[in-house]
Structure 1
Amino acid sequence: MSSFDDRAKAFESKFAHDAEMLFKAEARRNKLLGLWAAHLLGKSEEEAAVYVTEVIKADLSEAGDEDVFRKLAKDLVGHADEATIRSKMANLLVEAKAQLVTEL
């Protein structure tokens, strides 16, 4: 195998790994978002667990984060504004990535 083929294979492997890590980080971020929102809404521990599942499922509606944002914005009317939700989404993605790195 040529060095070009080796580099191409390494690039493909890195791309696949990065995509998997991003998927895991976004899933973890959604769990953390669900817990945060459930707390704002005053949900019990059992209700929070159900709500977290709803937030995770919301992310399966379409590509990107807008489906999760819309769910949270709708549910958090009077509790958090758009800027707060978007900021929390960004901050929790960073936190989720950091958690994943420490687990490796």
Structure 2
Amino acid sequence: MTTFDEREQAFEAKFARDEEMQFKAQARCNKMLGLWAAEKMGKSGVAAETYANALVTASVEDADHEDVVRKVTADLQGHVTSDEIRQKRAALLPAAQQQILSEAS
């Protein structure tokens, strides 16, 4: 194997790892958003975890993050706007990424 082939494989492996980490961070962010939304709905404990996990499952099935925003907006029935949900999700994403990176270390 040539140095070029080894370098190409290293780049591909890094890309795959980065994509996996981003996927996990997005899922973690959606779970955190789900727990936040569950709290807004007055859910706690197992009910909050169940709601958050359902949100993660839905986000994995529908890779569009706007689907998550629409679901949470509908579930909160006008108590919080879509823009507020997007802002909350954007605020949670760095924390989710940090958690995933620290777990990988």
Q: TM-score higher than 0.5 here? A: yes
Cα deviations by residue, 1:59-103 (Å, 9 ceiling, x for unpaired): 133222122111111112232111110011111111100111222
Query: TM-score, normalised on structure 2?
Result: 0.90
Query: TM-score, normalised on structure 1?
Result: 0.90
8-17 vs 67-76, which deviates more?
Answer: 67-76
Q: CA deviation at 1:44?
A: 2.7
Structure 2 match to 1:44 = 44
72-81 vs 5-14, which deviates more?
Answer: 72-81
Structure with bigger RCO (C-alpha 8 Å, 6+ apart): 2
Separation (CA, whole Å) in 1 of partners of 2:6 and 2:46: 50
Separation (CA, whole Å) in 2 of partners of 1:32 and 1:39: 11
Separation (CA, whole Å) in 1 of partners of 2:20 and 2:80: 31
Structure 1 match to 2:54 = 54
Structure 1 match to 2:18 = 18
CA contact (8 A) 1:34 1:52 kept: yes
Q: Which runs of 4+ in 1 moved over 3 A?
A: none
Separation (CA, whole Å) in 2 of partners of 1:100 and 1:54: 20
Separation (CA, whole Å) in 1 of partners of 2:37 and 2:4: 49
CA contact (8 A) 1:61 1:67 kept: no
RMSD, aligned CA: 1.3
Alignment of 1:1-104 (within 5 A): 1-103=1-103, 104=105
Counterpart amino acid of residue 85 in structure 2: I
- Which residues of structure 1 form unaligned runs of 5+? none
Cα deviations by residue, 1:6-50 (Å, 9 ceiling, x for unpaired): 111011000110011011111111110111000111113121121
